[in-house]
Amino acid sequence: MASGSTRISKRKDQLDKAENIGLIEMFAQMMEAYSKFSESLGKIQKTHEEAYKNMFSFATLEQLPNMMTKMMEEAPPELSRLVIGIFSKMTVFLPRITKIMELSADDKIKLGENLKSLAKDFEKLLEWIKKEEE
């Protein structure tokens, strides 16, 4: 029969309270982020069905460079810089997301910081679009 101290002492493979809290916070944040993404994607699909279908098509990807060039020629310089910055960051950061579990802890943290920066750029783009619509 195990003694009381054996039952109370923490095994090496068990998480302590702080680790459990950290994991639960991470899962809560992840579910919140996925819920927003899922809702947004569903709303776009529902209200703009044709655009949604085309959004992920190979034909759209083929047209993207020409569309971007035309948009950049017509856009003010500050918008052009913002959009070019967004696409530059996306080409660097997004491929790393698919391998996130393979990244070191420091690389995951850095990727998170970089994605926050990208999110802020998208918020600036959204603000610019809303301002233009007024």
Residue type, 17: K
Quick one: 48 and 64 in the same domain?
no
Residue 43 has pLDDT above 70, yes or no: yes
Residue 64 and residue 31: Cα distance in Å, rounded?
A: 31
Residue 39 sits in the same domain as residue 65: no
What confidence tens digit (pLDDT) does each residue in 24-36 have?
Answer: 999 999 999 999 9
Residue 57 in this model has a pLDDT that exceeds 90? no
Cβ atoms 111, 93 nearer than 8 A = yes
Q: What is the pLDDT of residue 102?
A: 96
Answer whether residue 48 is part of any domain: yes
Average predicted confidence (pLDDT) for the chain: 86
Residue 9 lies in a domain: no
pLDDT for position 12? 62
- Across 36-47, average pLDDT: 93
The domain total for the chain is: 2
pLDDT band at 9 (very low <50, low <70, confident <90, very high): low
Tell me the mean pLDDT in the region 83-89.
Answer: 90
What confidence category does residue 13 fall into, taking pLDDT thresholds of 50, 70 and 90?
low
C-alpha 130: how far from its chain's center? 22
My answer on whether 112 and 84 are in the same domain is: yes
C-alpha distances (whole Å) from 37 to each of 15, 58, 63, 92, 93 are 30, 22, 25, 21, 18
Quick one: which of 95, 79, 88 has its CA closest to 129?
79
Range of the domain at 48: 16-56
